[in-house]
């Protein structure tokens, strides 16, 4: 993602979610923290902090805070703790198409979190 595209994406994230901060990660990597993003109806809690890791030329990675329960009360499958920049964040697997040239980071966040609407 170019610097201009990243700046535009950050502005869109701020418009959608409010409190958004960034930090440099490793080479070619930007860490984007979103203070609170709403989860699908019925999830507990109803919102979570989000960490996006944007790496040049790669699909972004999305992490959430631990402790999310699906609408049926169960813990999602493939919901795993990770250490990212010295903090515990949780990842999950969910497949959907995403192309940085035609989709926004807001769309990426929303599509990713739809995974928690699936009861399994």
Structurally, the chain folds into a number of domains equal to: 1
Cis check: omega of the bond before 89, within 30 degrees of 0: no
Q: Which residues of the chain have pLDDT under 50?
A: none
pLDDT of residue 63: 96
Residue range(s) defining the domain that contains residue 93: 3-115
Q: Is residue 120 part of a domain?
A: no
- CA-based diameter of the chain, in Å? 41
* Rounded percentage of the chain residues whose pLDDT exceeds 90: 61
pLDDT of residue 18: 93
Crossing angle of helices 105-113/3-17, nearest 10°?
A: 50
Nearest to 92 by CA among 77, 107, 110: 77
Q: Is residue 65 part of a domain?
A: yes
Q: Is residue 12 part of a domain?
A: yes
pLDDT of residue 5: 87
Q: Is residue 102 part of a domain?
A: yes
pLDDT of residue 4: 87
């Amino acid at each position: 993602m170019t610097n201009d595209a990243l700046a535009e994406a950050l502005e869109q994230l701020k418009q959608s979610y409010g409190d958004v901060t960034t930090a440099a990660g490793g080479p070619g990597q930007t860490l984007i923290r979103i203070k609170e993003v709403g989860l699908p109806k019925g999830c507990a809690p109803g919102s979570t902090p989000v960490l996006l890791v944007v790496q040049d030329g790669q699909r972004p990675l999305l992490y959430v805070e631990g402790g999310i329960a699906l609408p049926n009360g169960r813990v999602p499958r493939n919901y795993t703790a990770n250490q990212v920049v010295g903090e515990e964040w949780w990842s999950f697997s969910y497949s959907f198409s995403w192309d940085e040239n035609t989709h926004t980071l807001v769309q990426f966040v929303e599509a990713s979190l739809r995974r928690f609407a699936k009861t399994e």
